[in-house]
């Protein structure tokens, strides 16, 4: 099964269910930050809207999670929702959850907002799936070697900066997905 996963990574995903191999033509993306109430739901909301704009929303599925369980079940931070809404993104329907080991086999891309969360994910991720874990900003054209800063303890300008970075990386991610899908 590992050989099949390598052949279809990024284009097709699979699940083993009672011995059957099921294929899905969806590309699945999981965005990760610490608590899943600021950066990762912002990334999920931005990418969903951008996918709709280019007609890929039916082929690419998104989700977000946190490495910690501080806010499980809660909506995104009010300030994140307000900043996103000003730019046309609706985060109100999202709810925080914690990442789990199964996510690494379910998602083609597991994208961390910063190096600390990336390191936590790499420690949790099964060895054959580690290539799926990356920094989200590795897709950015303007901020490629940076991390998305956590705006939680700062003012509203931090949420605007997060949106600037996320929008740029979202464009790069979607371009990479379009290229991989042919």
Report the catalytic residues.
33, 39, 150
How far apart (Å, rounded) are the C-alpha atoms in residues 43 and 64? Answer: 8
- Distance between start and end Cα atoms, the chain: 24
The DSSP secondary structure of 40-88, one letter per residue, reads HHHHHHHHHHHHHHTT-TTTEEEEEEESS-TTTTPPPPHHHHHHHHHTT
Tell me the CA distances in angstroms from 31 to 3, 78, 97, 139, one per residue in order.
Answer: 25, 19, 11, 13
């Amino acid at each position: 099964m590992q050989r099949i996963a390598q052949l279809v990574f990024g284009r097709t995903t699979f699940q083993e269910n009672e011995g059957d191999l099921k294929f899905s033509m969806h590309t699945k993306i999981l965005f990760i930050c610490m608590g899943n109430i600021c950066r990762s739901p912002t990334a999920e909301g931005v990418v969903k809207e951008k996918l709709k704009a280019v007609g890929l929303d039916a082929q690419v599925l998104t989700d977000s999670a946190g490495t910690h369980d501080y806010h499980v079940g809660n909506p995104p931070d009010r300030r994140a929702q307000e900043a996103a809404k000003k730019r046309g993104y609706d985060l109100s329907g999202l709810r925080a959850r914690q990442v789990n080991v199964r996510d690494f086999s379910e998602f083609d891309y597991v994208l961390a907002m910063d190096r600390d969360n990336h390191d936590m994910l790499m420690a949790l991720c099964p060895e054959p799936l580690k290539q799926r874990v990356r920094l989200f900003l590795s897709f950015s054209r303007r901020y490629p070697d940076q991390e998305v800063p956590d705006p939680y303890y700062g003012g509203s300008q931090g949420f605007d900066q997060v949106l600037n970075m996320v929008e740029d990386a979202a464009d790069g991610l979607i371009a990479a997905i379009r290229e991989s899908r042919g």
